[in-house]
């Protein structure tokens, strides 16, 4: 069902063929979400303010706290979630005391800045939890199919042209979920928040498909969630490649009808040609 809280209908002026005409336009909504924690010691902490597309705030909050290493899946499940307009608060149980020191340094993150201040790969690797090993090979000819399937189902992008998308997929190329947001980091957190709290579904996920470029923050989120394959329609950054190598993540970029580039852990991409 279409969520009209995620876009606004406006009137703009279109210049074309040396004329200016009024037209109806649809723009993606961008508004702040304050994420806070009520701690067992009675204190209240605002851990971040994200500029996001509304509509999936609980997914976004859960995915953000998980991929930032603030809380584990069971800790989030056992917390009470209270949602109000542009605010979301988790009331933590008495035995949960998260480490939010890193988040305090990055109090405000806008839709494009991502995760700042984490200067070394070694620092990131210390945060990544151990995950159960799952078979995560995929046929080489399914990469393009995954990207095409995701493009066809980016409803908010087709409406506004102003959002990023993340799709989580299985080894048979089935896309389990697609999430969209003005921030690519938010879209990834929404996808993780959508499926990683259901063991039956999360156990089938082997990879993520990105509608844009692959930055190191996106590779970090994949590593935190135990995702082994990342497909990017755009380019990867140098640090994204370095981190993918360090985390044993297969990183694919520049996917098009003509092919794609594999930057790390190519053994997971199964081909009949050596």
Active-site residues, by number, are 113
- Secondary structure of the chain as H, E, C letters: CCCHHHEEEEEEEEEECCEEEEEEEEEECCEEEEEEEECCCCCEEEEEEEEECCCCHHHHHHHHHHHCCCCCHHHHHCCEEEEECCEEEEECCCCCCCCCHHHHHCCEECCCCCCCCCCCHHHHHHHCCCCCCCCCCEEHHHHHHHHHHHHHCCHHHHHHCCCEEEEEECCCCCEEEEEEECCHHHHHHHHHHHHCCCHHHHCCCCEEEECCCECHHHHHHHHHHCCCEEEECCCECHHHHHHHHHCCCEEEEEEECCEEEEEECHHHEECCCC
């Amino acid at each position: 069902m279409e969520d009209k809280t995620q876009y606004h209908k406006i009137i703009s002026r279109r210049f074309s063929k040396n004329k200016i005409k009024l037209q109806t336009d649809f723009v993606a909504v961008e508004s702040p979400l304050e994420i806070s924690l009520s701690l067992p010691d009675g204190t209240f902490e605002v851990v971040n303010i994200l500029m996001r597309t509304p509509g999936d705030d609980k997914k976004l909050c859960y995915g953000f706290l998980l991929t930032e290493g603030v809380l584990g899946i069971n800790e989030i499940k056992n917390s009470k979630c209270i949602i109000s307009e542009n605010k979301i608060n988790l009331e933590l149980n008495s035995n949960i005391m998260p480490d939010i020191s890193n988040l305090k340094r990055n109090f405000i993150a806008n839709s494009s800045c991502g995760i700042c201040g984490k200067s070394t790969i070694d620092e990131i690797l210390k945060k990544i939890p151990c995950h159960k090993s799952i078979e995560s090979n995929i046929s080489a000819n399914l990469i393009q199919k995954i990207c095409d399937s995701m493009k066809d189902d980016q409803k908010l992008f087709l409406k506004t042209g102003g959002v990023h998308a993340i799709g989580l997929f299985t080894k048979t190329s089935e896309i389990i979920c697609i999430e969209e947001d003005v921030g690519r980091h938010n879209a990834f957190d929404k996808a993780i928040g959508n499926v990683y709290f259901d063991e039956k579904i999360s156990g089938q996920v082997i990879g993520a498909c990105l509608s844009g470029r692959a930055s190191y923050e996106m590779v970090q989120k994949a590593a935190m969630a135990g995702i082994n394959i990342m497909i990017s329609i755009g380019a990867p950054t140098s640090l994204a490649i370095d981190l993918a190598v360090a985390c044993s993540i297969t990183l694919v970029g520049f996917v098009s009808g003509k092919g794609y580039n594999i930057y790390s852990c190519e053994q997971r991409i199964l081909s009949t040609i050596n």
